[in-house]
Amino acid sequence: MKLITAIIRPERLSDVKLALFRIGVTGITLSRVSGHGGERDVVQQYRGDTVVLEFHEKVRLEMACSDNFVESCIDAILEGARTGEVGDGKIFVQPLDQVVRIRTGERDGLALTPVTAELVQRETAQYAVPSRNEGR
């Protein structure tokens, strides 16, 4: 089992979410975060003063998945999040020792099985995430 953490651009969230839903990922935790990576600082004027914005708004997604599902999750995140520009984000994959579903007490792999995965896959199959390179 793995914990996948992705830091992405906020404007790419809907595309990433749709790509994950299409492959059956329904268990996602989302947080609004700020950070600084390879992006340049943004200099703005605010009330007559020069302000340097060092931290950029990002979205942090976390999801637990079985080992054989990791690559599918990574591919879906890449499909939805990649713009090709600095600041697209990062994906981190970490091992999980144990998972317990609180509602049922199921553990590990059984706790990771999404209850609604088939329904979500059927409903989102009609939507396609357009490639950023289409039409170029």
Quote the pLDDT of residue 77: 97
Cα torsion 66, 2, 19, 82 to 10°: value is -150
For residue 114, the enclosing domain spans: 2-122
Position with higher pLDDT, 118 vs 109: 109
Give 57-100 pLDDT, tens digit per residue: 999 999 998 888 899 999 999 999 999 998 899 999 999 999 99
Whether residue 107 is contained in a domain is answered as yes
Quote the pLDDT of residue 136: 43
Q: Domain holding 28: CATH number?
A: 3.30.70.120
Q: What total of structural domains would you count in the chain?
A: 1
Whether residue 129 is contained in a domain is answered as no
For the chain, give the mean pLDDT.
84
**Nearest by Cα to 66 from 102, 40, 99, 31:** 99
